[in-house]
Amino acid sequence: MADSHTPPPLTAPLAPVPGRASPSSPEAFWADADRHLVRYGGTFTREIIDRAAGSFVYTADGRKILDFTSGQMSAILGHSHPEIVATVQQGIATLDHLFSGMLSRPVVDLARRLAESLPAPLEKALLLTTGAESNEAAVRMAKLVTGKHEIVSFARSWHGMTQAAASATYSAGRKGYGPGAPGNFAIPVPNAYRPDFTTADGALDWRRQLDFAFDLIDAQSTGSLAACLVEPILSSGGIIEPPPGYFAALRDRCRERGMLLILDEAQTGLCRTGTWYAFERDGVVPDILTLSKTLGAGLPLAAVVTSAEIEQEAYDRGYLFFTTHVADPLVAAVGNTVLDVLVRDRLDERARSLGAFLRQGLTDIAERHEVVGDIRGRGLLAGLELVVDRESKRSSSELGAHVTRRCLELGLHMNIVQLPGMGGVLRMAPPLTATEDELSLGLTILDQAIAEARAEL
């Protein structure tokens, strides 16, 4: 017989508290959430999510919501993909977590397969957990190898919330936390829709903009430029894709100054944009590549990939990034399954065809609604910017928030850029496994939401 100190079983029903709603009620849920959760960015979506499958999430009250964000822009195979489920079930029962100095077959296999998917000389991989951690490791490696410390990034960048990553993040979160890492500089974003440097015909003059940017960098630098850390397509910055030729010119600026080029493909890597890696469009191979979100298809897996030469130099100098979950076998096995599905189902081709379908649908919406100012992105990473009018291009955070809210009410989860002056930009990143019917449903809801928001505002 259990003594008086034996705790109740975990599955035991919670005892009712006088004056409190049932523990399973929505009222109790939100009371607990409001009382006990730290708010870590904006407000929580006021839906209790019960489960997720494929392109949809399902709420506790029975609503079915089309997920146009793939979770946090990560679940490229949709939610609860059966092969991912099977891999996790097998891994958790056989090989989940090891001492960080031990190696397992899933880890070595994933490192080899990532190298095989990439152009030379990228062949050495470090497996980690999140995008912030991978960027932290990449910046740390670049500083050690170059013997320098200054980092250059885009002015609307998002690279993570840990120290070095946050110091290279300019889209949000810089005020109120004290100084970031010393030697971080921002350069302007080449935004063709809102050009700051223009040619005679009013188009973006990105070459002059880039020259101006590095003139300022050179003026501020203490002579210790280590690396340039940038996204091939800025996502939190508003789905902004630098024009063809930009990254080749950026690489040349880096070479001239002895800097390494680090590309952060957290959202663009692994077929999202219609090619395995977004940098393929430009024929520019980074010195260091970081992957995260899409690599784990929703599970915490990230990678830093670099050349044997850089890795050797880092090793010789005593590179240290010994963390609790480095080279964990369970998530590495998931990464291998993600690669299996991407290759077998040709999801790069699927992202191209579905991306064209989505783009056409957004173009049709733009023809019906003058508040659509711009459509941009590549593959299944798309952005739609809402404006007060196309002539002035004046953004409207109120309109963007209204459309986003109405979409959710109608059964479509969208993501809005949370930057000052960019609140009218909607981000879309459906799973690569989505169907045309699901994309059509999302487009129909978006069309209705824009029409109703215009009428109300």
Positions marked catalytic: 158, 231, 264, 267, 293, 427
Rounded-to-integer distance, Cα 309 and Cα 259, Å: 15
* Residue 395 CA to its chain's centroid (Å): 23
Rounded-to-integer distance, Cα 298 and Cα 363, Å: 30
Burial class (CB in 10 A: 0-12, 13-18, 19+), 32: exposed
CB atoms within 10 A of CB 378: 21
- In the three-class reduction of DSSP (H, G, I as helix; E, B as strand; rest coil), residue 54 is classed as strand
Rounded-to-integer distance, Cα 221 and Cα 152, Å: 10
List 299's β-bridge partners, or say none: 297
Rounded-to-integer distance, Cα 383 and Cα 360, Å: 13
| 317 φ/ψ angles, rounded to the nearest 5 degrees | -95, 5
List 187's β-bridge partners, or say none: 154
Question: E strand or H helix at 417, and its extent?
Answer: none
- Are 289 and 266 in contact by the 8 Å Cβ rule? The answer is no
Residue for token pair 């489960």: 51
Rounded-to-integer distance, Cα 267 and Cα 265, Å: 5
Sequence-ordered alpha helix ranges (H) in 53-160: 70-73, 82-94, 105-117, 131-146
Quickly list DSSP for 354-415.
HHHHHHHHHHHHHHH-TTEEEEEEETTEEEEEEBS-TTT--B-HHHHHHHHHHHHHHTEE-E
What does DSSP assign to residue 79?
Answer: B
- In the three-class reduction of DSSP (H, G, I as helix; E, B as strand; rest coil), residue 13 is classed as coil
- Are 350 and 435 in contact by the 8 Å Cβ rule? The answer is no
Does the bond joining 188 to the residue before it have cis omega, within 30 degrees of 0? no
Contacts 24+ apart (CB under 8 A), 448-453: 448/406, 448/410, 449/403, 449/406, 449/407, 449/410, 449/412, 450/365, 450/369, 450/371, 450/372, 450/386, 450/403, 451/368, 451/369, 452/406, 453/399, 453/402, 453/403, 453/406
